[in-house]
Structure 1
């Protein structure tokens, strides 16, 4: 899948090193419990690729068309952790710090959402983040997603009492 400035594609072996570096960056991982080790990062790529095979969609690797640089991912992921709204398909993104502020997340997320509705036949796509992740919340709102505070939740994969456990949920329904 392509956008004006990005190539959204399946993962390559050469993506693993820059992806691991990105996942080890404390600033990129600020709204996660901890940065990922190289082994955890590689395992995530393996799960993402398995998801493509099982569902026909996943978290596409992002490449800047003009330079060929890998900058992160954007895409769709089936979420089945314990929460009132799961199972659900989430649109999500994670970009390397040098790719922030260029509009890449919203550009790719719009393409992923269109794919989910038009190609995969989804009727709703959600997105979630820690309460204080203002950058991601802004992307969700620019996507046209809406939040009902009654849907906010304590993320079951975040330890009890951790400041990142409270999450907001945004929804977008097929129009």
Structure 2
């Protein structure tokens, strides 16, 4: 199992977070020619209060957000618009940690007229790409990340979220 999912908010259980996270993470790694069996990702299904505390602790932003990610190591590309180098499997298979917030995801899905499953799938793909060094701070990096997300989501039957 690629994803070790911890459910803090029981609503995630009913939504199938474990299945959604595993499917999205596997598709992301496979798209980038990485073996999902060689890696581990921890996923926390929490509520807005918990993610707001995490967001404040780690980003000095005391408000909820949809998803947060903590890569096990820095993997970003130095040049804008360049794909980050792929990690090499070794003795530590941990790619990093992800937290996803129930209320924010549910609200965003409704506002975007998307199914919760599709929105969560998109956010997990997005977070896994962050674990792999993708980012969206620079315009060229954002374009690369969004294009990669759309390609992966298309393979999963999820419409372009942008």
> One fold, TM greater than 0.5?
no
Instruction: Give the TM-score, by structure 1 length.
Output: 0.30
Bigger helix share? 2
Bigger strand share? 1
Instruction: Give the TM-score, by structure 2 length.
Output: 0.32
Compare relative contact order (CA 8 Å, sep 6+) and give the higher one, 1 or 2: 2
